[in-house]
Structure 1
Amino acid sequence: MRIFKYWATASRVLQIDDFTQESTVYGGSDISIEHAREDAEQRLDKAAAKIQEKINRVFNNDPSYEVDIREEIIEKIDSNNIITRNRYGAQVLNSTDTMFIDVDSYKLSFMKIFFRRGKTNKDFMLAGIEKAAAKSVYSQLGFRIYETYKGYRILVSGFHYPVRSIETKSILKDFNGDRLYNYMCEKQNCYRARLTPKPNRVEQKLPRIIFPDRTYEQQNVLDKWLDEYRYKSQRYSTCNLVKEIGFISSTRVIEYHDRISKVNSNYPLA
């Protein structure tokens, strides 16, 4: 995953057929601004090469290419698990070694609609998750199932599946993972789990997150927004633990996720 402490830009006029266009890209580094600028230049070189058709596999066609997660780092659990603040101010866990699955919808058949007998979409989602977890192929894994505002979040324990592996794609499909979430996991090469409420769900206006290159005045505005956001979020949780299936070993990631998400609070979900 491309999450960095330092960010810098590189700009260049690129030739596109009979047109010229100035293009700017970001580069990132944990070493220095200069190193980030070098990274930006390298990415700009790739862009130029693609346009000129000097290489055949770049960006979406290059399995090694990763979309930047250009978000402010809040905390690092370890090198594989980094907490950032996303574009609308919520904290997000970015992980390369702990699989999270988002299940936000369930397509009901005509027969299930007809015979639902008071069951909600969430009831069908949970039943689908339990059915998938019971497959023999997953007998060595553990699953922590959390209820979210729209559906469920699943944390997979027992084995570290690389985000872009065939096994991961199969698991996400079996558990009916949200398609947009699955797509972004592959592009960013990490799993993501939102830890704090969405601002609109706690009646907080959306912030203007400027990162990087935030001015002193902009930082003051953000700090005031964060104070209000934290206050309004106190009595809300992001997800509640529903059940565990299989063996779950305690990890720093699980402890951090559960603590910040307030999974045992029984507060309203947001």
Structure 2
Amino acid sequence: MEPIPRHWAAVRETHTFPGQGPFALTIHGSSDVSVEDARRDARERMDALVAAGGPEQEHDSGLEYYPSRRLPEELLEEVHGEDGTLIAAVTRNRYGAAVLNTDALLICDVDLPQEDVGPSRSRIGRAGKRPGLLSRLFGGGAKHDAAREDSPGEPAPRGADVPTGSVGGAADGDHDAAALPDELGGPGSGERGRVHAELLTSIRDFGARHPELGVRAYRTRHGFRLLVSGADAHPASEQARALMAEVRSDPLYMLLCRVHDTYRARLTPKPWRVDVDRFESLGTRTATAPEHQDWVHRYRDASAQVAVCRLLEVTGPAPTADEERIIDLHDRATRPESGLPLA
């Protein structure tokens, strides 16, 4: 995969275009060299946009979170394969969560219909600090080969350790996902429960139709996540689109994968689900700023006793060594066999 830019800068200007009125424009530039070089890139992009006559007027409000080009994200980790090739990176997204980016393992995001779960189920309370992989993910600063480092206190579930077709995935073996309340990864009720059953059947049928693929199915708080090994499908390819469509992957997520040229998977909780304020993006501050570091520490502490997904099933052949490296990082960060509440 292409490296994630290490430096970002933004140019903000207001321009008036014929027949369009004034526009407050923000253009982001990136660089692997320096912030100054990123600012030069942003300046060139702004000048090109102005010379072209301004932004297009078509706007689909449903695409606000999934922009037509990559937005600034802090680089937290890099993972290299056995031959030294960059196979994954972890970044901090615009609201502060750590996100896995990779083109070496197909990742599908499948949403359940939203429902009002009420204020008592909207957040999960704070807890104590937990050391290990999460400290590195939250702490900032690009590091190499994160998946090769041992993580004290956080076991690394591996595909070979989970029997093919196993269901539940909780560490104590007592939790069947079908019996869990929704915020713990259960099916929900009513229409949501019906769709949950349909999607789970669709995921199992997908694995049966593609015995050549390894499929790890997880329950997220509001849907499912699939890590698919053996596909060898580039994120922007027709093959990837077809495979993701088979399991009803979210169309906006599919667009995001094409824009970023990687598959993406959130590794840490959404801040508002653990009573933490929204992260202010790198467009307004740097990762070394005191307020940035303060936010990171509060977020890390509040996230200590939650998980991001729950492992449901593992089917198909074993992943390659590089795919296993990515799965290992994903599972150590998301805690899918911990039995913790999902956030």
TM-score by length of 1: 0.78
- Structure-1 separation of matches of 2:29 and 2:286: 20
Task: Return the match for 1:157 from 229, 234, 244.
Answer: 229
Tell me what 1:16 maps to.
17
- Structure-1 separation of matches of 2:281 and 2:342: 27
1:41 is displaced (CA, Å) by: 3.6
Task: Return the match for 1:122 from 178, 189, 196.
Answer: 196
1:66 is displaced (CA, Å) by: 5.9
Give the match's secondary structure for 1:209: coil
1:7 is displaced (CA, Å) by: 1.5
> What residue identity is the alignment partner of 2:291?
V
After superposition, the C-alpha distances for 1:224-244 in whole angstroms (9 at most, x for unaligned) are 333232222222110111111
Q: Give the 4+ runs in structure 1 shifted more than 3 A.
A: 9-15, 18-24, 118-121
Q: Residues 213 and 151 of structure 1: is their aligned pair in 2 closer, same or farther, counting only changes over 3 Å?
A: closer
Identity among equivalent pairs (%): 33
After superposition, the C-alpha distances for 1:237-260 in whole angstroms (9 at most, x for unaligned) are 101111112113152211101001
Which blocks of at least 5 consecutive residues in structure 2 are unaligned?
Answer: 56-66, 81-85, 114-189
Q: With CA pairs under 8 Å and 6+ residues apart, which has the higher RCO, 1 or 2?
A: 2
Question: Superposed, which structure 2 residues align to 1:60-139 within 5 Å?
Answer: 67-78=69-80, 79-105=86-112, 120-135=194-209, 138-139=210-211
Task: Return the match for 2:339 from 262, 266, 270.
Answer: 266
1:191 is displaced (CA, Å) by: 1.4
- Structure-2 separation of matches of 1:121 and 1:20: 45
Give the match's secondary structure for 2:289: helix
Q: Residues 42 and 159 of structure 1: is their aligned pair in 2 closer, same or farther, counting only changes over 3 Å?
A: farther
1:184 is displaced (CA, Å) by: 1.8
After superposition, the C-alpha distances for 1:162-204 in whole angstroms (9 at most, x for unaligned) are 11111111111111001221222222222110001112222x1
Q: Residues 260 and 28 of structure 1: is their aligned pair in 2 closer, same or farther, counting only changes over 3 Å?
A: same
1:24 is displaced (CA, Å) by: 4.2
Q: Residues 144 and 220 of structure 1: is their aligned pair in 2 closer, same or farther, counting only changes over 3 Å?
A: same
After superposition, the C-alpha distances for 1:65-116 in whole angstroms (9 at most, x for unaligned) are 961231111111243421111222211112222221111127xxxxxxxxx9
Q: Residues 141 and 221 of structure 1: is their aligned pair in 2 closer, same or farther, counting only changes over 3 Å?
A: same
1:267 is displaced (CA, Å) by: 1.0
Preserved CA contact (<8 Å) 1:3 1:69: no
How many pairs are equivalent? 246
- Structure-1 separation of matches of 2:303 and 2:39: 37
